[in-house]
A and B are shown apart, each in its own frame.
Chain A
Amino acid sequence: MSCPDWESRILLLLEGVADAEAAGHLRNCPACAAFASELAGDAQALRTAPPEAAAVDYAAIRVAARREAVRRIWRRRVLAALAVAAAILLASRVAIHRDLPQPAHSAPVRPPAAVVASVAPAPTPAPAPTPRPAIRPARHHRPTDADLDRQFAEYLRHVEESQHPAAADWPAVVPIATSNPNVTIIWLQESKGNDHE
């Protein structure tokens, strides 16, 4: 076994791995002892602080670190508050939508035929669907003059009936007895208007 072959075992030995054979070789081999000495020198160089470490403004780093920590804490809090607010808003909107009556379904919006034809001309025109009447929301009905006349006539009739209850049975038949039992006078009462004729 040549000395370069021992190097890996010496490295492990210096790392604390027990190897009696390697330790014995290290005691008796000047080349490997020199190698171990060089490794110790490298370790010493690594342990030495770099000269740049003496020129750093550590107080500024401490202040910056503290400020950054405070900033991150506040950012977390704000984000948490926003998340809670968003959840509450979402929950309230869901509740409102659940309470509202379902809206009447509206007719589907169809694009203009000209636009559809210009974008994608169909080889065989599809049959035009029957137009569905759109359900319009209930609007306040404004009475016409005829409606007003009819309502007024009904009002007059109601007043007439309340004043002359028998008028509802036009034409009335009133039998009038005479001295001759075979003769009865029938009195037909006629209304003045033509409605009940």
Chain B
Amino acid sequence: MAQTLTTMDPQTADEIPEADLLRLAQSGSRDALEQLIMRYERRIFALAFRLTGSVEDAQDAAQETFTRLHLRLREIQAGRGAGPWLCAVAVNACRDIGRRRRRSRLIPLPPAIEVPDALTDPERRAAARESQECLRAGLATLPEKERAALLLREMQGLSTAEVARALGSSEVTVRSQICNARMKLRRFFRRHEEAGQ
């Protein structure tokens, strides 16, 4: 399969099961590793963006995550898949970036990239933008661990056991963190809705 991957078109490469792709990458196939990264890059960036609230930090965290994937590819168990491992590395990278930023007292920059608007209706576009801003502000109010636990569950679809492994906590702690985060976020949205009315 390794010898055919280089000549395979991207559509066919997408059909390869992740476990096979991971084994190929671990056996030295650079194309398989590229395909693996391409499968996860959007999800990892989205997770990092929701965790940090900054496009630049999210890009840095995504780059750091994939750098570590290059270096520690053989540590990943093919049976478990690369997803939980990458999510755990991304959470740690975001934590490191947050610490560096606090140490250097840097202020998070506004997004420097041009965000495309899929909606043509100006009212709906404004509502969507406000909804995204509200979500970003609500997540920013959560403690770091609760935010990470909630995002790993909801965005990445990890099980309680996988979230616990990624965060180095027990399942009971993770369940409690997720419940607390949901409740705090709901209260924040309620206050925001009440203030808007």
Chain A residues engaging chain B, CB cutoff 8 angstroms: 7-8, 11-12, 15-17, 35, 38-39, 42-43, 45-47, 49-56, 58, 61-62, 64-66, 68-69, 72-73
Contacts and interface: CB of A to CB of B under 8 A. Distances in A.
Given A12-B175, A52-B55, A55-B113, 8 more contacts: A8-B179, A17-B175, A38-B189, A39-B186, A51-B115, A51-B128, A53-B45, A72-B71
Contact of B154 (A16, A43, A65, A69): A43
A38 B45 CA distance: 26
A6 to B, nearest CB: 12
B160 A16 contact: yes
Interface in B29-68: 34, 37-38, 41-42, 45-46, 49-50, 55, 58-59, 62-67
A52 B154 contact: no
Interface string B103-126: 000000001011111100000000
Contact of A73 (B62, B71, B111, B115): B71
8 contacts: A46-B135, A49-B46, A50-B50, A51-B115, A53-B46, A56-B62, A62-B66, A73-B71
The secondary structure that dominates the B interface is helix
Given A62-B66, A69-B67, A42 B113 contact: no
A7 B42 CA distance: 34
Given A17-B175, A55-B115, A45 B131 contact: yes
Interface in B1-55: 34, 37-38, 41-42, 45-46, 49-50, 55
B30 to A, nearest CB: 9
B70 A69 contact: yes
Contacts of B117: 51
A8 to B, nearest CB: 7
B151 interface: yes
B50 A65 contact: no
Contacts of B62: 56, 61
Contact of A46 (B38, B63, B71, B155): B155
